[in-house]
């Protein structure tokens, strides 16, 4: 059955079936304009794990998302599809997470990273994390070469590095809009070269990443502050305390968004750590921090990026952890729907209006 035939037979007002695709849509990866790569990995999580289960839980929750998208008629016809969750990586995650927990526990008890047993475990985990990066890179590259727009769905925040590398081969220059409570600029945190706390440090090793604009920062170490100050304006931080102070002084969120967007180049990659939002929206994420953006503030910012004429070249959504209440994943699914639709809109992939 062709994509057009599926569109004609699909009821966007119907119930999301358990065997349907992401958001209950009928599209296969080959038919979709936006392809989501699930990465069930949280090996290097330093505080609380569980985000490796995020992709499967978001897939389930996404079938409850209504498909009407304000301002865009029949946006669902663009096509969003998620690749099958790679269970081999889920199994490897469980194996190496135990090893990482052993390392973290020993480090917290004062054992040095230079201890031979610890050093061997760290090397093993770093090598496996490097293989994960290669997996994400190769899958991302294949989809990009097929003309797809690509989003990574983590997992912890280390997972999108392969996509950023693939985009660096496709674009001469682009910036990253990072929404996050943390700067993630640490160098090999806890010895893990590809730690979730080092994703932006690793992303900036790609010279094609011309700018990093981080929004919502409120839990940052001294090393990360020095990296920002010494970046020659390559890194710009919009700290939550400062954003709130501007709002308390009467500045509108729309005006604040304009100042954020003015720092971005024409091409933008969005890296969205769910803990950039208020913790009431993501209480089970790995490292929740008081403060943060409301859901509506985040969506308004993303929409204004697109309205500014900038192009979203790729994106990730990470650190969503499921819970019995399913609250985190319901928030994550709706956020993912907004992100994918706005990326499609910025690239001219939305269906033509009747």
CA Rg, the chain, in Å? 20
What is the SS3 assignment for 154-181? ECCCCCCHHHHHHHHHHCCCEEEEEECC
Taking only the tens place, the pLDDT of each residue in 22-48 is 999 999 999 999 999 999 999 988 777
| Residue 298, both tokens | 């985040």
pLDDT of residue 351: 86
**What is the domain partition of the chain in residue ranges?**
3-346
Q: What is the pLDDT of residues 278-325, one digit of tens each?
A: 999 999 998 899 999 999 999 999 999 999 999 999 999 999 999 888
> Above pLDDT 90, what percent of the chain?
84
For the question of whether the overall pTM of this predicted structure is more than 0.85, the answer is yes
pLDDT in tens, 43-66: 988 777 889 999 999 999 999 999
Q: What is the mean pLDDT of the chain?
A: 94
Q: Which of the residue ranges 95-99, 235-239, 272-276, 290-294 would you say has the lowest mean pLDDT?
A: 95-99
CATH no., domain 3-346: 3.40.800.10
pLDDT at 353: 59
- Is the model's pLDDT at 169 over the cut of 90? yes
- In our burial notation (b when 16+ CB lie closer than 10 A, e otherwise), range 306-317 reads beeebbbbbbbb
């Amino acid at each position: 059955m062709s994509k057009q035939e599926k569109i004609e037979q699909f009821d966007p007002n119907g119930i999301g079936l358990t065997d349907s695709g992401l958001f209950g849509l009928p599209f296969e990866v080959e038919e979709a304009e936006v392809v989501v790569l699930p990465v069930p990995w949280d090996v290097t999580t330093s505080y609380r794990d569980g985000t490796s289960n995020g992709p499967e839980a978001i897939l389930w929750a996404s079938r409850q998302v209504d498909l009407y998208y304000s301002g865009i008629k029949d946006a669902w016809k663009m096509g969003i599809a998620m690749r099958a969750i790679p269970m081999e990586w889920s199994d490897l995650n469980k194996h190496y997470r135990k090893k990482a927990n052993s390392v973290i526990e020993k480090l917290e008890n004062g054992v040095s990273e230079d201890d031979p047993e610890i050093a061997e475990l760290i090397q093993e985990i770093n090598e496996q994390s490097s293989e994960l990066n290669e997996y994400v890179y190769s899958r991302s590259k294949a989809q990009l070469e097929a003309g797809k727009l690509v989003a990574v769905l983590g997992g912890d925040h280390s997972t999108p590095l392969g996509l950023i590398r693939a985009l660096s081969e496709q674009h001469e220059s682009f910036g990253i809009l990072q929404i996050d409570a943390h700067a993630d600029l640490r160098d090999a945190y806890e010895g893990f070269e590809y730690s979730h706390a080092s994703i932006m440090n690793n992303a900036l090793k790609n010279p094609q990443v011309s700018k990093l604009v981080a929004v919502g920062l409120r839990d940052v170490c001294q090393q990360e502050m020095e990296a920002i100050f010494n970046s020659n304006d390559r890194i710009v931080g919009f700290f939550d305390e400062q954003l709130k102070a501007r709002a308390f002084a009467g500045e509108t969120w729309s005006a604040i968004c304009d100042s954020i967007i003015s720092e971005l180049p024409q091409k933008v990659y969005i890296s969205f750590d769910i803990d950039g939002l208020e913790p009431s929206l993501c209480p089970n994420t790995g490292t929740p921090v008081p403060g943060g953006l409301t859901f509506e503030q985040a969506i308004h910012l993303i929409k204004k990026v697109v309205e500014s004429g900038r192009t979203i070249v790729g994106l990730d959504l990470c650190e969503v952890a499921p819970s019995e209440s399913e609250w985190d994943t319901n928030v994550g699914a709706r956020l993912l729907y907004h992100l994918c639709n706005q990326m499609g809109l910025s690239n001219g992939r939305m269906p033509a209006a009747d």
